[in-house]
Structure 1
Amino acid sequence: MRGAIVALLLFMWMPFILFKPYIGVLLWDWISHMNPHKQSYGFATTFPFLDFVAAMTLGGLILSKDKKNLPGHPVVVAMLLYLLWAVFTTIAGFEPGYSSEKLTYLMKVMLFAFVTVMVMKSPNRLRAFVLVMVTSLAFIGIKGGLFTVLSGGSGRVQGAGGMMEDNNQLAMAMAMLVPMAFYYVQHPPHRHLKWPIMGVALAIMVSVVGTQSRGGFVALAGVLGMMLMKSKYKFKLMAVMIPVLVGGYFLVPDSWKNRIESTGSATEDSSFLGRVVMWKFSSNVADDNPIEGGGFNVFYVRRAQEVYMPPGHTPRAPHSVYFEVLAEHGYVGLTLFMTMLFTAWYAGSSNAKRFRQFDETRWVGDLSAAAQLGLVGYAIGGLTVNIAAFDLFYHYMAVIAMCTVVGEQILTRASTSTQGGVKVALSKKWSPPKPTNVGTRAAPPASMKW
């Protein structure tokens, strides 16, 4: 019955996608982040809903009369360059046939990001896209947080399917989601939802702890630390965070403490030593193939293992996004990947500085800042988790690009609109003016807000 309900919800919207492609993007958004069919039983668990929705959306994009252009945003350009390089390294890699599956996955992820940037270029559509994404992921975070509390931390929160296949990937997604949850604390859909959303944010953080993922825990610590640095209410946040963290530490079982504490004892942690071996393997591959690398999934190619694997060790996953990219795409690919990451970081920071100063675009600036903080979690957690093709990373970059486009639209519209032939000035929050002369006080203009 649950599978039939999910199938009905998805199929009933598909005819509308051909006329309104943005509906297809929102359905695509929901399926990608929540995997509702994986929460059901029967035929729905394996039915390719995402492929159907993607095909219908592309068809609607062709039939639609709306303007369809991919903005030349630096983030979009960086993503295209990285994708083209990945195609080249797959062709030139050790075993192109073995690498093609991961390339196909990355192309689907980036296709969704590009289509989203093309279609969702209005304030309401951007809000809808982010709300569906955050709500879908928050559903998984609430489930994980409640499970962790009810089990006293003794049970592990496992993967939720899709891009969150295992506990490490789920922990990374939840750590990246925390800034977005706090964005909705600042800009709740309704004023009465502010405190419930705060509870959701806490549940998401608890779900990261419940995964027992060391990479996710480090990513969460990095995100919270950066949020604390950027916040205007540092002491209030510390007054809340410190008791929660200390109390939580004494409540979790010893197995969780031992696992997290082993992060700092690298010489005694066999898991960490195994990762160092794979990092050496990645360096060996890149040193011999500095331009093209070994192609996707080179870690599992027997010929590469025989040549580049340090003797006496068993091959395994790289457990680092940076060494993953280095081995698969060479030093050129790693440079393009880091360029993509830093371009998105800089664009998010620029958006936040520019759009936060106006009332009309403050929400755009705060959204860009939240996406930027999510990238912090990805960059830090990526040190120990191999998630170079992680969906949420590319979706956050798409959000930053859309924020730039939408923010520019709002500013242009506000600066060129007229009332009786007079241009309407953009509104800022009033701040006390600086006195022009000692002993005199300038009065604030009557048009400014108190």
Structure 2
Amino acid sequence: MRDLALVGLFLAILPYAFRHTWAGVLLWTWVSIMNPHKLAFGFAHTMPFAAMAAIATLVSVMVNRDKLKLDFTPPIKVLCVFIFWMCLTTAFSVHFDPSLDYLKKVLKIQLMTLIAAAALRERKHIELFIWVNAMSVGFYGFKGGLFTIRSGGAERVWGPPGGFIEGNNELALALVMTIPLINYLRMVATDKRLRMGLLVLIGLCAISALGSQSRGALLAISAMGLVLWTRSDKKFAMAAVLLVAGVLLLSLMPESWWERMQTIQTYEEDGSAMGRINAWWFAFHLANDRPLGAGFATSTPWLYSIYAPNPNIVLVAHSIYFSVLGEHGWGGLLLFLLLWIVLWRMASAIRKEAKNEPELSWLYHLAGMCQVSIVGYAVGGAFLSLAYFDLPYNILVILSTSYVWMKAKRWQTDKQGAFGAGAPVSQIRTAAMKRAQLW
């Protein structure tokens, strides 16, 4: 029954994906992040839903009547350079065949990222994209939160099999990053019942993230809470809310959870932590010896025997920073860091531009919540190999398309307002670009 329901829903949406690229982007995003077919137990479990969604989207790019235009905002420019750099490092990788296989997977994600940036042109497209991302991960937060409450936090919460967020730590980070997006939807919702439902979902996502027993998730949530407190105009009230919420959430956790969190301070005695540190030193030595890194396939006994302090512990980097460093060298790491720095600056500029404009208030809240999500990714990702996970790049798409929407709105306002109907188009465009300039 579950298989039939899933296939029926997918086939109902598929014709819209062929007709409208933005609909194809939403379908692809839902399938690639949530992996709904992995929740089925029959014939749908192994069906290539992602491939079908991608094909429909690519076909729509060629035949649809929607206006598609990729605006090369600063984050998009850096992303394109980073993509080129990954192709270059793969060409000179140590283990070429497995590196090439993984590059193909990464390029599929980045191709859909660029298509999404070109296809989402209207506010409704952007907000639907936010809803799909938030609910795709929020589903597991809802489910995992209830599971954690039922089990008293004694058992870990796991993600859907076969995807980026299959592991408990990976799912926890995805949930942490999604909470700000859900909060944005709550802030702009007009229906009280919807706002209350989204608030409950936020609580369940937080409980689920803690129930995963991920130490990185705890650090990420703490960092996000600090950012929210510094942004608040009513710091005392915000501190009280965060304190009460924190006490309520932590009171649900069993003694085993507290014992695991305490290992943050005693990492020298934790074999898992020491294995990660060994992998980080491995990536550091590798990048110093090979300017282009070793390619995507770095976690091999042969490479560890050369560059790792302890060659007997062969692990993946468990860090977005050190995985990129080992795979693509110092140049790749600098591009990766620059991508998120530029994106942060864009969000800050959007907030500054939209702060005192009632019509743009949704952008002010959205950019702020995206920044909180970026903080969660930057902190939690320091302990996980999720450098190529879809969700952070979808946040890039959200901010980039929001910037383009705001720029277009500014141009339209100037055209209809300050200069009058008889003003030269060049004068109007120049003034609008100056007003919307974010750099």
Q: Is TM-score (shorter-chain normalized) higher than 0.5? A: yes
Residues 228-251 of structure 1: per-residue CA shift (max 9 Å, x gap): 111223222322221332344343
Other-structure match for 2:69: 69
1:309 counterpart = 2:308: yes
Gaps of 5+ in 2: 423-439
Residues 97-141 of structure 1: per-residue CA shift (max 9 Å, x gap): 011222122111111211111111111111111122212221111
Q: Name the larger-Rg structure.
A: 1
Residues 10-66 of structure 1: per-residue CA shift (max 9 Å, x gap): 122222322222221111122122222122221111111011111111111111233
Residues 68 and 246 (structure 1 numbering): CA distance in 2 closer, same or farther, change over 3 Å?
closer
Residues 337-385 of structure 1: per-residue CA shift (max 9 Å, x gap): 1111111111111111112221111101211221121111111112211
Aligned residues: 420
1:371 counterpart = 2:354: no
1:152 counterpart = 2:184: no
Residues 155 and 345 (structure 1 numbering): CA distance in 2 closer, same or farther, change over 3 Å?
same
Other-structure match for 2:22: 22
Other-structure match for 1:114: 114
Other-structure match for 2:272: 271
For 2:244 and 2:315, the matched residues in 1 are separated by 39
Other-structure match for 2:231: 230
For 1:249 and 1:17, the matched residues in 2 are separated by 43
For 2:58 and 2:262, the matched residues in 1 are separated by 48
* 3-state SS of 1:66 partner: coil
Residues 173-223 of structure 1: per-residue CA shift (max 9 Å, x gap): 111111112212211152432222111111111111011011111111111
Contact map agreement 1:378 1:393 (CA 8 A) in 2: yes
Other-structure match for 1:58: 58
Contact map agreement 1:14 1:24 (CA 8 A) in 2: yes
After TM superposition, the structure 1 = structure 2 runs for residues 4-403 of structure 1, keeping only pairs within 5 Å, are: 4-161=4-161, 162-188=163-189, 190-290=191-291, 292-299=292-299, 301-311=300-310, 313-403=312-402
Deviation at 1:310, TM superposition (A): 2.2
For 1:379 and 1:144, the matched residues in 2 are separated by 23
1:308 is matched by which residue type in structure 2? Y
Contact map agreement 1:171 1:217 (CA 8 A) in 2: no
Contact map agreement 2:17 2:56 (CA 8 A) in 1: yes
2:14 is matched by which residue type in structure 1? M
* 3-state SS of 2:195 partner: helix
For 2:14 and 2:222, the matched residues in 1 are separated by 41
Deviation at 1:262, TM superposition (A): 0.5
Percent identity for Structure 1 against Structure 2: 31
Contact map agreement 1:356 1:363 (CA 8 A) in 2: no
Q: TM-score, normalised by structure 1?
A: 0.89
1:402 is matched by which residue type in structure 2? T
Other-structure match for 1:446: none
Deviation at 1:149, TM superposition (A): 0.9
Greater helix percent: which structure? 2
For 1:101 and 1:376, the matched residues in 2 are separated by 30
* 3-state SS of 1:184 partner: helix
Deviation at 1:163, TM superposition (A): 2.3
Gaps of 5+ in 1: 424-450
For 2:108 and 2:298, the matched residues in 1 are separated by 20
Deviation at 1:422, TM superposition (A): 8.2
Residues 390-426 of structure 1: per-residue CA shift (max 9 Å, x gap): 111111111110110111122222332369x689xxx
Deviation at 1:306, TM superposition (A): 2.3
1:135 is matched by which residue type in structure 2? M
For 1:422 and 1:69, the matched residues in 2 are separated by 27
* 3-state SS of 1:68 partner: coil
Contact map agreement 1:277 1:313 (CA 8 A) in 2: no
Contact map agreement 1:368 1:400 (CA 8 A) in 2: yes
Contact map agreement 2:211 2:253 (CA 8 A) in 1: no
Contact map agreement 1:361 1:411 (CA 8 A) in 2: no
1:266 is matched by which residue type in structure 2? Y
2:134 is matched by which residue type in structure 1? V
